[in-house]
Structure 1
């Protein structure tokens, strides 16, 4: 099938063309398998060339009409590069997706087209563009899921194996190596389960393990570790990888953990060290592992990133001051201290130059990581984006005059609650003040940040001297915050999960926060199990997805519910309804019981669990 793509400015603004693209896009969304069709399957996946002819310049020129089949390799490569350039302008949630992304999605609806798209991603995404890895993640996430047969073909087409890894290293084809690892990791994350197990063949493992050798380029090592981590989302793969690592002497991850651990290091080796250490503590735990959190020196540290107020896929270093995201979602975190009055300042050192939104947020700011919403995407937060050169508030943005940030840059964030203004600075160069967020929030601000895939930064809340302190009088978080020794611990995830499994809660606790009593009935569905605070944040019932029209306060009794008609403005009247099988109320004296038997490092773990209750208020 021949599809004409008109790329002139006039056509891009044409409403009929936008409707056509929308039909192309919506007709293919939700497809689960790539299947070839006889018509439109011209062109076949070819062998990937090692050379790229200046990919940063290869675009489909404006005003050009493409009359060749869309699955022609050159056209696909041009569409991919156009998509990468357009990502920087995708700043409006209501804006239509770029035509290049829609066209690629249509191409990938067939098996041969999907194979060409993946091969082109490996070939043309440049090393030097900070949005390159995000482009691979975005495009693979938008494409239909491949079938098992297609998975086998892509590993064959890419010639993945130990020999290929060694040949690429010898020829210094770092771009192809890195992109291949990103593709493998994205597919493993997207297809977690049986298909991920099919993808992780012996050749794939050999390729990734070979890339962990110390003489390999650090960027290739980094994305090989991340790919192994994503394969480990499937338990069978995790067991296979762990067994293989246990047989290696020395364990390559342990070698890499110590390989780049120099304070202040700003190259990719620092990222490698972070990821190697995190996987050893959280995923591929060697026998007798001395977990990093036990050896951390937290003296003088009074504020950290809150491990109880973070979206689930963000990695927080044992220091509590460094964070990284390798997931395809938009992960967010707040710190443990809130500012209510006065002037406050903190700094962030940029480690990776990609998309991060760093700023200030109250506890009302929502972390909707899978919807792509983070700090600066609601009315209770304001954020600085140094990659796309934007200031974000309530999911709207405006450009700022700073250059794009780069590794080693220092972002300064000044919050003046007296004047109700926020000032951002990059390496001491200040922007004008912003005050939009104060229309909805006057106090209770936390340092906060959101991270796109493969991004990392380090926070300084005042424990160390600031690099670019403001000229006005200000307060440091670290001078006013307070943490117990137990609250400073960042436990490995498997230990936190083990503790959660040992916790029992009162039967009448809210099923969302497990903190307050369930005193609310949602109408018209009559579902209960929520406190008023959580119920007020819901628009639909989480059990049946019915739109909530009314919230009734109830008093839970044995086999009965006492309803107070407050939502409809009727006060002083009550109606009592019997609810067979409803949870009976517990006494006020009932406490959470914690069973610590068979939990590794029970003393430290018990202390850390107690710390979570103290963190709750700031969460």
Structure 2
């Protein structure tokens, strides 16, 4: 594999040397102390806190140990998972995540990964943390000494618990005090005026609302406190159509919540305000997770699940030059690239020989599970990454901030019978958001002097796909009920015959 870096602002080309750093297994050395032996609680806290620094950004060009970081984080994570099997240690882990983690985009990823991987605790253990140790209630939410950093972490941990313990356990931990705490944080009763904190409270409320009892409690409490608050937050998305960052995130989440979770009587659904009949391609994910959120025009996507989600284009090409671009709404981990026939749709982009992608925070190109350092710069919110596929020359180019990196790979473009097809692909870490432009709108980062085609010119989307990804689930079910489908038709696609019945809901 060869990489070439170009400065697009200069006429002469500057070739940057491309290096692949070796990866060595991370080994844990024995702890040796001179005076005192740290307590088990202190060791657990240290590993939890240090994991955020390991997973955070680094300069791979100057950090000689950069390639060992994934293995170091995995070792720390395995340690935390192992000790969390004991309930008292689970309490220590949860407390460390809520109280000691700093304000940083990588804190979000760290908390999501750890909460996802550690064993599920007993309901009594969770209740002890929420009600006794942190005393979540209205009093805490409106306290004058409110620590925004800690409350953000608490809301994120609650979010993960609601997703992980969905069902009766979720209803058990969502007490009246916890509901009151989240609702008061969300409506800004304390006037903390932190939009990100409000958004994290809203996202936690969404997850808890998955059960009927919890949803009724939330709707009732919000109606008493401020019934218009969610609608007011939605205006952020309308007022800042050209702005990105946390204000856009809040507006996007508020609009999605009003469409999907907390509908407002008489409000027109966003899906009905957009004409998507001309949209013929998108990036889709087959997991069916409702918290992988699509805008009605299918261009803006947000991953509010605990898992990294890989999305693949519905448009496939075999020859020529093709371009698409991604606009960063958040600054967390996102891998953007291309995949080909045979790619594992459940793996991250770049984890096998059939896909490759650029991760802009770490400035790393991933291919076949191997990381490669490239000098393209670390992306920021509102920046646009352009991706050009040249099948004829067997090259892929990435464009960012006036620079271009060209990658040549005979393996990725190796001929097959029948000929392989190529399509755009991205992997989104938890709680990340971006805009995908496959040609539906004018490009912001298109390379000059290059004759390429837009993927939107060859894609095809069925009305069912547009409805499944762009329409709120409740509205989709109502519309499906009006279809003239046969009695034995599938409840989801309304096309093929039923061969499975889900219990206890009875959907077929």
Residue 195 to residue 108, structure 1, CA distance change in 2 (3 Å)? same
Equivalent position to 2:127, from 139, 148, 152: 152
State how 1:48-197 maps to structure 2 within 5 Å. Answer: 67-72=37-42, 75-87=43-55, 98-128=74-104, 130-155=105-130, 156-167=132-143, 170-171=144-145, 173-197=147-171
For the Cα contact (< 8 Å) 1:311–1:367, is it kept in 2?
A: no
- Quick one: distance in 2 between partners of 1:506 and 1:517? 9
- Quick one: distance in 1 between partners of 2:459 and 2:82? 53
- In the TM superposition, residue 376 of structure 1 has moved relative to its aligned partner by 2.5
State how 1:32-51 maps to structure 2 within 5 Å. Answer: none
- Quick one: distance in 1 between partners of 2:175 and 2:484? 39
Name the structure 2 match of 1:389.
363
Residue 365 to residue 103, structure 1, CA distance change in 2 (3 Å)? closer
- In the TM superposition, residue 11 of structure 1 has moved relative to its aligned partner by 12
Name the structure 2 match of 1:235.
212
- Quick one: distance in 2 between partners of 1:334 and 1:131? 25
- Quick one: distance in 2 between partners of 1:386 and 1:377? 16
Residue 11 to residue 350, structure 1, CA distance change in 2 (3 Å)? closer
Query: After superposition, what is the alpha-carbon deviation per residue over 1:53-83, rounded to whole angstroms, capped at 9, x for unaligned?
Result: xxxxxxxxx97688222113xx333211221
Query: After superposition, what is the alpha-carbon deviation per residue over 1:91-127, rounded to whole angstroms, capped at 9, x for unaligned?
Result: 8999586443233234323333222221111122111
- Quick one: distance in 2 between partners of 1:411 and 1:84? 26
- Quick one: distance in 2 between partners of 1:166 and 1:12? 45
Indicate whether 1:244 and 2:244 are aligned.
Answer: no
User: Unpaired segments of 5 or more residues in structure 2?
Assistant: 1-23, 57-64, 501-508
Residue 514 to residue 283, structure 1, CA distance change in 2 (3 Å)? closer
Name the structure 1 match of 2:265.
287
TM norm structure 2: 0.79
- Quick one: distance in 2 between partners of 1:466 and 1:286? 35
Query: After superposition, what is the alpha-carbon deviation per residue over 1:359-405, rounded to whole angstroms, capped at 9, x for unaligned?
Result: 1224643332xxxx233233332222112322222333322223332
- Quick one: distance in 2 between partners of 1:237 and 1:97? 35
SS in 1 for 2:111: helix
Structure number with higher relative contact order (C-alpha < 8 Å, ≥ 6 residues apart):
2
Equivalent position to 1:347, from 302, 308, 325: 325
- Quick one: distance in 1 between partners of 2:74 and 2:127? 30
Name the structure 2 match of 1:598.
none
- Quick one: distance in 1 between partners of 2:73 and 2:285? 35
CA RMSD across the alignment: 3.7
- Quick one: distance in 2 between partners of 1:343 and 1:100? 43
- In the TM superposition, residue 351 of structure 1 has moved relative to its aligned partner by 1.0
For the Cα contact (< 8 Å) 2:55–2:70, is it kept in 1?
A: no
SS in 1 for 2:319: coil
- Quick one: distance in 2 between partners of 1:265 and 1:228? 26
- Quick one: distance in 2 between partners of 1:92 and 1:377? 17
Equivalent position to 2:252, from 268, 274, 282: 274
- In the TM superposition, residue 323 of structure 1 has moved relative to its aligned partner by 0.3
Indicate whether 1:254 and 2:231 are aligned.
Answer: yes
Query: After superposition, what is the alpha-carbon deviation per residue over 1:273-302, rounded to whole angstroms, capped at 9, x for unaligned?
Result: 111111111122222331101112558x54
Name the structure 1 match of 2:60.
none
- Quick one: distance in 1 between partners of 2:46 and 2:431? 24
Query: After superposition, what is the alpha-carbon deviation per residue over 1:486-511, rounded to whole angstroms, capped at 9, x for unaligned?
Result: 8755211223345667786798x99x
- In the TM superposition, residue 324 of structure 1 has moved relative to its aligned partner by 0.6
Indicate whether 1:322 and 2:300 are aligned.
Answer: yes
- Quick one: distance in 1 between partners of 2:156 and 2:27? 34
Name the structure 2 match of 1:474.
452
TM norm structure 1: 0.66
- Quick one: distance in 2 between partners of 1:334 and 1:92? 29
- Quick one: distance in 2 between partners of 1:444 and 1:269? 39
